[in-house]
Structure 1
Amino acid sequence: MTRIINKPKDTVSQVLNGVAYIHQDILQRIPKTGILLRKELTPDRVAIISGGGSGHEPAHFGYIGENMLDASVSGPIFIPPTAGEVFEAIQKTDQGKGVLLVIKNFEADINNFLQAEKQAKEAGHNVSHVIVNDDCSVETGSFEKRRRGVAGTIFVHKILGAAASEGKSLDELVSIGEKVINSMNSLGVALSSGTSLTGETSNFTLEKDMISFGIGIHGEEGYRSEPFHSSEHLANELLNKLLVQYDDYINKRFAILINGLGTTTVMEQYVFSNDVKRLLELEGVTVVYAKTGNYMTSTNMAGISLTLLEITEDNWLDYLKKPTNAFAW
């Protein structure tokens, strides 16, 4: 697949330059780094930082803004930023109330972000973290839950960012974040694998008219492949596997996030959204908040993911609805 890029090795830096140019009213790039920083940092507020490898656009820089993130740190494609760059982001965002790191549950991400947290603490900063692990797909063979951090991370950004704006302390934000993460599950499906920037290699092999359930945002293959039947069939498979994660789901309230994984068209996303709506209504499930769009992609993978967040606290819904100027929300 041909892509509108220049030299592959320059792509990440050029993406960051382009974002900083188009959204210069909201954010700025720290030169020669993967750091994008909110222009108007709020005093007396815990700063929220997220990040990871590139290739997930608009994550994570798309969520910088009022009532969301204060900075994002991007690494190379599917490779997390260095601890040094995360540490620099902490230094630039700390307004005296501390910094909270939102980390996706991948070993390399955890190692680099926690190393930066250690450095920052040694330098006198008050820093803590939450680790998002919303993926409820399973390992092939063992059927153990993979618990990677995927699209549900966006809900964590929004709820914690809005809570920080209310003046919540660092400890309070960690507590809220952990409760949100424990109330959330996601599952994704691919219709075609993503490819390298040159388009020469695929992340995994998927035959024509086949789909892969339980794929990862770094192009990881799913736990099962089968022929594609319909959007409704996909919605039924994903929704059933998500609902069984919750006891007595009929008497619970949910927020849902329908996420395009890269090349899935808006038309397809809304057909799928309609199918999810119909199935939820048939099951008698109460949805109090819903979003559809490209929130956390996997370069040019064709596919979609579904996230369910049980709203166990009334103020979570208030936080989700709180206005933001983050351009990707």
Structure 2
Amino acid sequence: MKKIINDPESVVEEMLHGMAVSQPQYVTKLEGFNVMVRTTQKKGKVALVSGGGSGHEPSHGGYVGKGMLDAAVAGAVFTSPTPDQIYEAIKAVDTGAGVLLIIKNYTGDVMNFEMAAEMAEADGITVEKVVTQDDVAVENSTWTTGRRGIAGTVLVHKIAGAKAEMGASLTEVKQTAENVIANERSMGMAILPCTVPAAGKPSFILADDEMEIGMGIHGEPGTHREKIQTADGIAQQLVDKILAEGIYHSGDEVAVMVNGLGATPLMELYIVSGKVQAILQEKGIQMVKTYVGNYMTSLEMAGCSVTLLKLDAELKNLLLAPADTPAFVQY
């Protein structure tokens, strides 16, 4: 295993420390906890809290800031944060307007965030939650009941965060987040594995000429393995699976995210994005905004995912609203 680390057991704490001292204008590490909070809190605003296992950077700490999250909780690599850590995050950012938890649909995440919500509610804090489940690859698995939450979660952060920043109520922010979740779909693939520092070996093995379609962001199995295709072939397969959901039609406006899993060069992501644009254009689907880059990774896994979000007038305005965070700046 080759990694630029000190001790496999302390990677999360050292990462968060480095982030806090490097980006103090955005984030502060909550003392004693693996929680990043917004440096400048906005009083009276609904607070957004998300998080999950580490290894998906810049998710989720990179999205703490104006127009997105108020706190992000970091578990061990690919492991849900504990309820006490989430509870401390909720307490740290509640300013009286309530807290919305944005949870990726993994069994441990859902259970621990729900336990933390119950703890906070016992303290008199109003807490609501939404669960992202945008991955069309797998329905139910050893990791989830229902579909997995993957890169589309970032668009929930963006749009719900903009709604909260505008002063909406907790009920309104939750409704907006649920609207995003209902209208977004993602599909991913991988060509090379990642190595969890504590494990010291690759999480799975692919032959040199193989790829896996539908691979999860923790290395969970996808739908199948096949011979590696061209970028155009990969894009076609991912988009075809998303369009088969039947919620995107000619004349619709969409946001597109072509997300790298950590080790895929931007060169390759842009090639995939070019084909995605061509496919959608042929279908008469109008692209309002396209994001290309590493938004929700899997350590150094090589691969990508594609996310589509169908936009109505409100979602479009909120998507295009300003945001200013360590990993997401939009004017």
Task: Look up the match of 2:324.
Answer: 325
CA-CA distance at 1:282 after TM superposition: 2.1
Q: Distance in 1 between matches of 2:51 and 2:200?
A: 27
Q: In terms of mean alpha carbon deviation, does 270-279 or 107-116 score higher?
A: 270-279
Structure 1 residues 248 and 181: CA distance shift in structure 2, 3 A: closer
Deviations, residues 113-169 of structure 1 (Å, cap 9, x unaligned)? 00000010011001111000111103699xx99510100000000000000011111
Q: Does 1:274 align with 2:254?
A: no
Q: Deviations over 1:287-313 (max 9, x none)?
A: 1111001000011110000001111x2
Q: Aligned partners of 2:85, 2:256: CA distance in 1, in Å?
A: 33
The change in CA–CA distance for 1:146 and 1:238 in structure 2 (over 3 A counts) is farther
Aligned to 1:314: 313
Bigger mean CA offset, 192-201 vs 224-233: 192-201
> For residue 27 of structure 1, what is the aligned residue in structure 2?
27
> Which ranges in structure 1 are unaligned for 5 or more consecutive residues?
none
Name the CA distance, whole Å, in 2 between partners of 1:120 and 1:248: 39
AA paired with 1:193?
Answer: P
Q: CA deviation at 1:183?
A: 0.6
User: Hey, what's the Cα distance between the residues in 2 that align with 1:122 and 1:139?
Assistant: 34
2: CA distance between counterparts of 1:267 and 1:301? 16
User: What is the CA–CA distance in structure 1 between the aligned matches of 2:138 and 2:265, rounded to whole Å?
Assistant: 27
Q: Does 1:150 align with 2:150?
A: yes
Q: Which residue of 1 aligns with 2:71?
A: 71
CA contact (8 A) 2:103 2:110 kept: yes
Q: Which residue of 1 aligns with 2:129?
A: 129
Displaced runs of 4 or more, over 2 A: 138-141
Give 1:122's aligned amino acid. Answer: A
> SS of the residue aligned with 1:2?
coil
- Whether the 8 Å CA contact 2:99–2:128 is kept in 1: the answer is yes
Shift of 1:221: 2.0
TM-score by length of 1: 0.95
Letter in 2 for 1:238: L
Cα 1:85–1:192 shift into 2, 3 Å: same
Mapped pair 1:224 → 2:247:
no
Task: Quote the Cα distance in structure 2 between the aligned partners of 1:6 and 1:248.
Answer: 47
- In structure 1, distance between residues paired with 2:47 and 2:198: 37
Q: How many residues align?
A: 326
TM-score scaled by structure 2? 0.95
Q: Where does residue 234 of structure 1 map in the other structure?
A: 234
Q: Distance in 2 between matches of 1:248 and 1:99?
A: 31
Q: Distance in 1 between matches of 2:39 and 2:140?
A: 45
Task: For 1:1-329, list aligned pairs within 5 A.
Answer: 1-138=1-138, 146-197=146-197, 200-247=200-247, 249-311=249-311, 313-329=312-328
Offset of residue 199 of structure 1: 7.2
Distance of 1:91 and 1:156 partners within structure 2: 22
User: SS of 1:37's equivalent?
Assistant: strand
Q: Any idea what SS the aligned residue of 1:250 has? A: coil
Q: Distance in 2 between matches of 1:174 and 1:208?
A: 44
Distance (whole Å) between structure 1 residues aligned to residue 200 and residue 225 of structure 2:
23
Select between 266-275 and 116-125 the one with higher mean Cα deviation. Answer: 266-275
**Per-residue deviation, 1:112:** 0.4
Distance of 2:323 and 2:46 partners within structure 1: 17
- Code of the aligned partner of 1:323: P
Cα deviation for residue 284 of structure 1 reads 2.1
CA distance in 2, matches of 1:205, 1:115: 36
Q: d(CA) in 1 for partners of 2:155 and 2:236?
A: 23
SS in 2 for 1:81: coil
| Aligned counterparts of 1:284 and 1:233: Cα–Cα separation in 2 | 20
User: How far apart in 2 are the matches of 1:31 and 1:265?
Assistant: 36
Structure 1 window deviating more from structure 2 (164-173 vs 232-241): it is: 164-173
Tell me, in whole angstroms, the C-alpha distance in 2 between the residues paired with 1:221 and 1:262. Answer: 18
Q: Partners in 2 of 1:318 and 1:27 — Cα distance?
A: 26
Q: Distance in 2 between matches of 1:110 and 1:138?
A: 18
User: Which residue type is aligned with residue 75 of structure 1?
Assistant: G
Distance 1:279-1:216 versus aligned 2 partners, 3 A rule: same
| Whole-Å separation in 2 of the counterparts to 1:175 and 1:139 | 24
Task: Give the Cα–Cα distance (whole angstroms) in 2 for the partners of residues 162 and 33 of structure 1.
Answer: 27
